[in-house]
Structure 1
Amino acid sequence: MDGTLTNSEPLWAEATFYLSELLGKRLTPTQRLATVGATFDTTLAICADNAGVTLQPGDSERYRARMFDYVKGLFARKLEIFPGIPALLQELKADGVPMMVTTNTERNVADAAITALGRDYFVDTICGDEVPAGKPAPDMYREAARRIGADPAECLVFEDSATGMRAAVDAGCAVIGLPEDDQVEIPPEVTEISRLRDSRHLAGAKATDVYEWFAKISAGQ
């Protein structure tokens, strides 16, 4: 969802820099890339390590509350849905394609973005605090496939982060990568969207395009 359907990655970047400053030392842009698609606990650990801070009991919940309140404020003021996404979701739903959101973002933050997108497009949603292990573990995608009654190999995943791509690949899904820039490490099993169309995003894509891409990936093309 973040970085694929909504232009929320810049907002998460802003919030992550805010968190790192709370801990005493701002991350560099390169260091911040390691947090893209990561769980909060991973992000907090990266920020603490960068600042030379040893986390104490209770710190995780305290910093989580501060960061998530900050993110909610950003979402309320600045969250944008990528152009063409509502039309694409509507086409896919009209064709009877079951769609799910799987995000490492915790439920109390993710719900605002899911509602903005249109909850009715999706048969279900899974958030990072609802599975034993978040991405890059494959749990979330395996659970998504189970909920729609499909084999993971029958599922097409769109991911923007190396963390999410790894999770989807290890779950056995077909994966299209929508990296924000060339610094994102794309697993070799992933098909970058620029190989399928002249864009890094889904703007202007039709349902028929998605079906064609899935057929090509499934055929190993």
Structure 2
Amino acid sequence: MDGTLVDTEPLWGVATYELSERLGRRLTPELREATVGGSFANTLAVCARHAGLTLDDADSAHYKEWMYQRMSELIGHDLLPNPGIDGLLADLAEAGVPMYVTTNTERRLADVCINAVGRDYFAGSITGDEVAHPKPAPDMYAEAARRAGARPERCLVFEDSWAGMSAAAAAGCRVFGLAEAVPRGVTRFDPARFVGATARDVEAWFSDGDAA
């Protein structure tokens, strides 16, 4: 979702840097990169370790509430789908292709983004607080495949984060990565190809493995 359907990653970056400053030491760009696509627990652990802090459960709950409130403020009311996404989702939905959002973002924020994209396009969604193990574990992709009634290898995943790409590949899905560097078993995909794409294009990408 974040970075693939909507461009919220810069907003997560703002909030993550601010979180690290609240903990006493601003993250380096390299450490910020290690939080992209991960769960809040991972982000907080990276920030706390960088600041030399050990947090208890009450601390974690406090910072989590702060982070989600801050993201709600940043997201506001002007979040738009990335270029090409709206038209492609509409065509896929008209073609009867079941689609699921799988995101480490928890439900309270994920719903804001899903609504901005168009909830009616999707058969369902799975969020980071609804699985035992968030990305990079394969849990939510295995669950999405189960809900779709399809074997994972028959499911096509678009992901932009290392954690997400790794999770989908581990689940056995076909994965197109919207990134310069992708894990083994993931095919690089140029997101500019979403613009003007149709359901037939997606079928061809899946069948041919052509996402370059």
Question: TM-score, normalized by length of structure 2?
Answer: 0.95
The root-mean-square deviation of aligned C-alpha atoms, in Å, is 1.6
What is the DSSP-based 3-state SS (H/G/I as helix, E as strand, rest coil) of the residue aligned with 2:175?
strand
Equivalent residue, structure 2, for 1:54: 54
Native 8 Å contact 1:178 1:200 kept in 2 = no
CA distance in 1, matches of 2:36, 2:159: 11
1:77-156 aligned within 5 A: 77-156=77-156
Structure 1 residue 80 displacement after superposition: 3.0
Deviations 1:11-46 (A, max 9, x none): 111111111111111111121000011000010000
Equivalent residue, structure 2, for 1:68: 68
CA distance in 2, matches of 1:72, 1:214: 35
Structure 1 residue 216 displacement after superposition: 1.3
Structure 1 residue 207 displacement after superposition: 1.9
Native 8 Å contact 1:169 1:190 kept in 2 = yes
Structure 1 residue 174 displacement after superposition: 0.1
CA distance in 2, matches of 1:31, 1:205: 35
Question: TM-score, normalized by length of structure 1?
Answer: 0.91
Deviations 1:119-167 (A, max 9, x none): 1000000000000100000000000000010000010000000100000
Give 5+ residue unaligned stretches, structure 2: none
- Which AA in structure 1 matches 2:40? F
Q: CA separation of 1:163/1:26 partners in 2, compared to 1, >3 Å: closer, same or farther?
A: same
- Which AA in structure 1 matches 2:167? A
Structure 1 outlier segments of 4+, above 3 Å? none
Equivalent residue, structure 2, for 1:35: 35
What is the DSSP-based 3-state SS (H/G/I as helix, E as strand, rest coil) of the residue aligned with 2:209?
helix
1:212 aligns with 2:212: no
- Which AA in structure 2 matches 1:189? G
Give 5+ residue unaligned stretches, structure 1: none
What is the DSSP-based 3-state SS (H/G/I as helix, E as strand, rest coil) of the residue aligned with 1:166?
helix
Structure 1 residue 186 displacement after superposition: 1.1
Equivalent residue, structure 2, for 1:11: 11
Structure 1 residue 217 displacement after superposition: 2.3
1:192 to 173, 178, 188: 188
